[in-house]
Amino acid sequence: MKNLKLALVLSLATPIAQANITLNQEVALIDVCSAAASNSRVKLIKTLEQNNLSVNAATSKIKCNNLSLIQFAKSVGADNSVKYLNKYKDSLRRNIAS
């Protein structure tokens, strides 16, 4: 897990410098990426709630290692996280189409 966090910090460093975000925002990004990688649906939901992020905002705006949150979770084999994020996105699409 230390290697994963180090990789996340290193991968996020360049975009953070360019975006001029605060340290708290940087920590929130790392927390969300780590929660998605943990493969724990509960941890992911709690982390999103703690950072006042909707699933929609997280999946459309957050990048981890230059991948979308869903692609990142897939790349680390976090199937439970992927299922949750995709299920939520699919239900959101159905509601919009109705």
Instruction: Return the higher-pLDDT residue of 5 and 65.
Output: 65
What pLDDT, on a 0 to 100 scale, did the predictor assign at position 82? 96
* Banded model confidence at residue 87, pLDDT cuts 50, 70, 90: confident
Domain of residue 14: give its range.
2-97
What pLDDT does residue 84 have?
95
- Which residue's structure tokens are 């981890």? 64
Give the chain's domain count: 1
b/e burial code for range 50-77 (CB count within 10 A of at least 16 → b)? ebebebeebbeebebbebbbbebbbebe
The pLDDT of residue 2:
46
Cα dihedral 53, 65, 43, 70 sign:
positive
pLDDT digits (tens, 9 = 90+) for 20-66: 788 888 999 999 999 999 999 999 999 999 999 999 899 989 999 99
Q: Which residue has the tokens 């460093």?
A: 13
